[in-house]
Amino acid sequence: MNKKVKIVRRIDDLGRVVIPKELRQMMNIIQNDPLELFFDHQNSQIVVRKHEIDEIDYKELWNKFKNFNSDIAEEMNKYEIELKNKS
């Protein structure tokens, strides 16, 4: 899709710019979606794009969570054994 859309918006006193509904629909952006903003030095443009979280991030996070839970369970088992031995 090479269709160019140009809409002029003003920046408010807090530095905010409203992304028009037409552009949000074209970019499939809904409320609370994370967006990336960066400056393209070569073209002197501010670029806005939807931030996509990789599946790898989820898998890595899940593995860390499982390891953390496993470590806690192991420590709790050791503690229970110590309590039983003291009784």
Tens digits of residue pLDDT in 53-72: 766 667 777 778 877 877 78
Rounded to whole angstroms, the Cα distance separating 7 from 1 reads 17
Note the helical H segments in the chain.
21-26, 55-86
For residue 38, what are the CA distances in angstroms to 22, 47, 63? 21, 5, 31
pLDDT at 24: 92
pLDDT of residue 36: 92
Whole-angstrom Cα distance, residue 34 to residue 52? 8
Question: Which contiguous run of DSSP H or E holds residue 39?
Answer: strand 35-40
Residue 1 has pLDDT above 60, yes or no: no
Query: What's the pLDDT tens digit per position in 6-53?
Result: 889 999 999 999 999 999 998 899 998 899 999 999 999 999 999 887
pLDDT at res. 56: 63
Contact between 21 and 14 under an 8 Å Cβ cutoff? The reply is: no
